[in-house]
Amino acid sequence: MLGLLQAQTVLAADYIVLPVFGSQPDTGVQLGVAAIWESEPVADSYAVNLFLLGTENRQAMGSVGLRIPGVVSGRRDYFEAEIHASYFPNEFFGYRATFLEDGAGYDEETLRFRLAWSYPLDSRWRVGVGGIAAVSEVEFDDPQDPLLDDVAWTEGGRLFGLEGSLTRDSRDSMSWPTMGTWARTEATVARDDDSETFAWASQSAAVYYQIPADVILALGGQVQAATDNTPFLYMPTLTGSQWMRGLRDGQYRHQTTVATQLEARLPLSPRFAATTFVHTGQVASNPGRWWDEDWKSGGGVGLRYSISNERRQNIRVDMGWVDGRGGLVINFGEAF
């Protein structure tokens, strides 16, 4: 639920401050604030973002991000930096448990720093490189819980990694596309305190098509995989802010994941729009086991508010359900 919304234009740059609150079964009441400032409506503009959240169940997280364009060549390249900190006791539902069963509880403390640089190869292709450094601690309340029978990734510790990405984007608009395609390949190689090397990767894609009455159909999905020695916090997860809205990140993790969703987007006015979506996903030790258990599935509805009359730069509010249990997602920009 939105508490208050402010948007202003200062020197042709938009900024917004969004106090929000909501609730989920594993968090209780959520209270927080999100803020973003952008100089232009493009991905390589100057931008600063802030996100802070606290919950009734004594969970907390926060992040600060910065984007600077034209750092090296001035040819639509940009530099990004982010600091993320969290203390988030959570539930882990595992692979062999349905969502409505109780999960195994775990405590997670994380401090992560990320630097990245993105460079356009041409009008459609973009390459990115970066690095991450993190320190974390993960402890399960009951390490002998049957949900953890095929989960051996309970350690934390320090981590240093290098990441790379390749993106192809033919969308006619980045914030509210009506046609085109988008695809991204990402991979990270990292090392921990014991000098053990591990890696994880993902492939995401989406296609957009406009039908009569200005309704936009968007179909997207993601496949992820990790080596079996990847630490728990970096195992692939069904991301609840993007591909499986309403599901909290980290409640399902394993060495591979797959998720897909179909969304209909309907403009209501220059600033408001409505959406409805359906989604499904699965996690398992390998793709061959995706079919061993019931898939997680559901859907939801959403409302969009654009912070500008001149362009569609959306704040999204989505209410999503996965296997009959709901959650609220409030974020800047579309899920995909």
Q: pLDDT class for 151, splitting at 50, 70, 90?
A: low
pLDDT at 173: 84
Which tens digits make up the pLDDT trace of 190-232?
998 888 899 999 999 999 999 988 899 999 999 999 998 888 8
> Residue 275: which of 265, 283, 267, 285 has the closest Cα?
265
Determine contact, residues 289/255, Cβ cutoff 8 Å. no
CA distances to 28, 80, 314, 319, 335 from 7, rounded to whole Å, are 28, 24, 11, 23, 21
Beta strands in 170-271 (DSSP E): 180-192, 197-211, 215-226, 256-267
Q: Quick one: the chain helix, strand, coil %, rounded to 5? A: 5, 60, 35
| Burial profile 23-60: b = 16 or more Cβ within 10 angstroms, e = fewer | ebebbeebebbbbbbbbebebbbebebebebbbeeebe
State the pTM of this model. 0.84
Percent of the chain with pLDDT over 90: 38
What pLDDT does residue 97 have?
Answer: 56
Look-up of token digits 């408001």:
272
Residue 150 has pLDDT above 70, yes or no: no
Taking the C-alpha atoms of residue 114 and residue 144, their distance in angstroms, rounded to an integer, is 34
Nearest to 201 by CA among 240, 155, 164: 164
Q: Give residue 81's pLDDT.
A: 96
Nearest to 165 by CA among 181, 142, 197, 188: 188
Q: What confidence tens digit (pLDDT) does each residue in 302-333 have?
A: 999 887 666 677 888 888 888 877 777 777 77
Separation between Cα atoms, residue 254 and residue 142, nearest integer Å: 18
**Most confident of the following: 38-42, 83-87, 175-179:** 83-87
Place of tokens 């493009």: 42
| CB-CB neighbours of 191 under 10 Å | 14
- Tens-digit pLDDT profile for residues 57-103: 889 999 999 999 987 777 788 999 999 999 988 888 776 655 556 77
Task: Give me 198's structure tokens.
Answer: 């591990």
Average the pLDDT over each of 29-33, 98-102, 156-160, 264-268 and give the range with the smallest value.
98-102
Pair 264, 276: CB distance under 8 Å: yes
**In 10 A of CB 22, how many CB atoms?**
20
CA-based nearest residue to 280, from 304, 256, 308, 299:
299
Number of helices (H), then strands (E), in the chain: 0, 18
Q: Encode 289-307 in three state secondary structure.
A: HCCCCCCEEEEEEEEEEEC
